[in-house]
């Protein structure tokens, strides 16, 4: 029993020898806060619907370290964003810049909304008009009258 | 009037089918690289097989060459590897490797096992140069022209079709023009 315990303990210790070091975190809490704020704005290309702040993919960890390093070296947020865009394209930005290639992205939803509203408006207008344009014919009116009268006669 | 009303859902459906159809042919993992037609980012790294020697992208100025980012831990690399070995044998274009975030022994053993199509593999232990090249999914392959400009990037395994339709014609064109 004791031998088994020692073996287990040995395995645990051996495991921690091979364990990777924890992801580095900047010592300065303010710098870390800035780094994470910037990381929230950048998309992880390995797991595309996560920010690099959320992602534990190796590339995301590397990029977070790059951000920390560059902030420490005195680069501004905008400079680091440019650095990322130069390598990975506008796709890394969760808020892509407005330019010709990204224009459909920015105005597309509004165009669709406008088209839908216009369609709805047109539909309602037409329905109302068609409802007004159909006065009762002589025969219908006579029928209505007779129905009403017959109703009144009912006990 | 009646007919038009029945045609509207059909038209909407048709548009939807077209959009979905186009969507199916797109690969969301293939993000267009901003590095196309830009100078290849400079690097100087130790060689995988000879740590005391280095390989730099500027060593290749004046030649059309291919840079293939690979790692022994990468499954798709193994898939494309026979194609690269074959390409190297044909001698159509010199292939250089960038061994990305790998252990040196693992990389060397991997090449010994599956064949080495690379003239030289640069050893990028911490993946820093990979970041400069916008690498996010190994394997990635770059075709670089005589002026040191990246002309083509392929993300994922290089298939015989990609070689035949994209890479080899481009290499031919780049070699012919200068």
What ipTM describes this predicted complex?
A: 0.74
**Contact yes or no for B33/B153 (Cβ under 8 A):** yes
Task: For chain B, say whether A133 makes contact (Cβ under 8 Å).
Answer: no
Please report which confidence band the pLDDT of residue A10 belongs to, taking 50, 70 and 90 as the band edges: low
| Mean pLDDT of chain B, nearest integer | 91
| Mean pLDDT of chain A, nearest integer | 82
Percent of chain B with pLDDT over 90: 79
Instruction: With beta carbons under 8 A apart, name residues in chain B contacting A91.
Output: 31-32
Residue A86 and residue A98: Cα distance in Å, rounded?
Answer: 17
- DSSP alpha helix (H) spans, A73-102: 77-88
Asked if B134 lies within 8 A of A89 by C-beta distance, the reply is: yes
The reported pLDDT for the residue numbered A111 is 95
More confident residue, B75 or A22: B75
Please report which confidence band the pLDDT of residue A57 belongs to, taking 50, 70 and 90 as the band edges: confident
Structure tokens at B126: 């911490």
The reported pLDDT for the residue numbered B34 is 86
Range ranked top by mean pLDDT from A41-50, A112-121, A144-153 = A112-121
Instruction: With beta carbons under 8 A apart, name residues in chain B contacting A23.
Output: none
84-113 in A: which are within 8 Å (CB) of B? 85-91
Asked if B131 lies within 8 A of A86 by C-beta distance, the reply is: no
The reported pLDDT for the residue numbered B124 is 93
Residue B154 and residue B146: Cα distance in Å, rounded?
Answer: 19
Instruction: With beta carbons under 8 A apart, name residues in chain A contacting B137.
Output: 45-46
Asked if B131 lies within 8 A of A46 by C-beta distance, the reply is: no
The reported pLDDT for the residue numbered A24 is 61
Among B2, B9, B29, B31, the residue to mutate for chain A (most A Cβ within 10 A): B31
The reported pLDDT for the residue numbered B53 is 93
Asked if B101 lies within 8 A of A58 by C-beta distance, the reply is: yes
Residue B128 and residue B100: Cα distance in Å, rounded?
Answer: 9
Asked if A62 lies within 8 A of B35 by C-beta distance, the reply is: no
Asked if B137 lies within 8 A of A85 by C-beta distance, the reply is: no
Q: What does pTM read for this prediction?
A: 0.72
pLDDT higher than 90, residue A132: no
The C-alpha of B40 sits at a distance from chain A's nearest C-alpha, in angstroms, of 11
Please report which confidence band the pLDDT of residue B178 belongs to, taking 50, 70 and 90 as the band edges: very low
The reported pLDDT for the residue numbered B3 is 73
pLDDT higher than 70, residue A58: yes
């Amino acid at each position: 029993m004791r031998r088994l315990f020692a073996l287990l303990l040995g395995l645990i210790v051996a495991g921690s020898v091979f364990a990777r070091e924890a992801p580095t975190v900047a010592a300065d809490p303010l710098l870390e806060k800035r780094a994470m704020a910037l990381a929230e704005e950048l998309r992880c290309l390995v797991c595309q619907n996560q920010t690099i702040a959320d992602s534990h993919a190796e590339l995301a960890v590397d990029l977070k370290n790059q951000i920390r390093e560059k902030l420490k070296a005195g680069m501004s947020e905008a400079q680091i964003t440019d650095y990322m865009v130069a390598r990975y394209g506008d796709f890394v930005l969760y808020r892509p810049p407005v330019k010709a290639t990204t224009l459909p992205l920015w105005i597309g939803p509004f165009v669709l909304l406008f088209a839908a509203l216009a369609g709805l408006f047109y539909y309602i207008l037409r329905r109302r008009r068609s409802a007004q344009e159909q006065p009762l014919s002589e025969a219908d009116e006579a029928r209505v009258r007779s129905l009403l009268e017959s109703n009144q006669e009912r006990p | 009037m009646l007919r038009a009303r029945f045609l509207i859902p059909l038209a909407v459906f048709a548009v939807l089918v077209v959009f979905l159809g186009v969507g199916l042919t797109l690969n969301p993992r293939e993000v267009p690289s901003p590095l196309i037609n830009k100078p290849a980012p400079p690097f100087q790294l130790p060689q995988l097989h000879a740590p005391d020697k280095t390989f730099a992208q500027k060593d290749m100025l004046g030649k059309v060459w291919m840079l293939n980012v690979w790692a022994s831990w990468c499954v798709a690399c193994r898939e494309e590897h026979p194609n690269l070995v074959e390409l190297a044998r044909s001698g159509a274009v010199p292939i250089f490797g960038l061994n990305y975030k790998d252990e040196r022994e693992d990389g060397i053993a991997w090449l010994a096992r599956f064949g080495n199509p690379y003239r030289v593999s640069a050893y990028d232990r911490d993946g820093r140069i990979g970041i400069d090249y916008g690498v996010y999914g190994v394997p990635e392959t770059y075709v670089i022209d005589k002026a040191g400009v990246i002309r083509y990037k392929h993300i994922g395994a290089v298939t015989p079709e990609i070689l035949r339709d994209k890479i080899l014609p481009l290499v031919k064109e780049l070699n012919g023009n200068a």
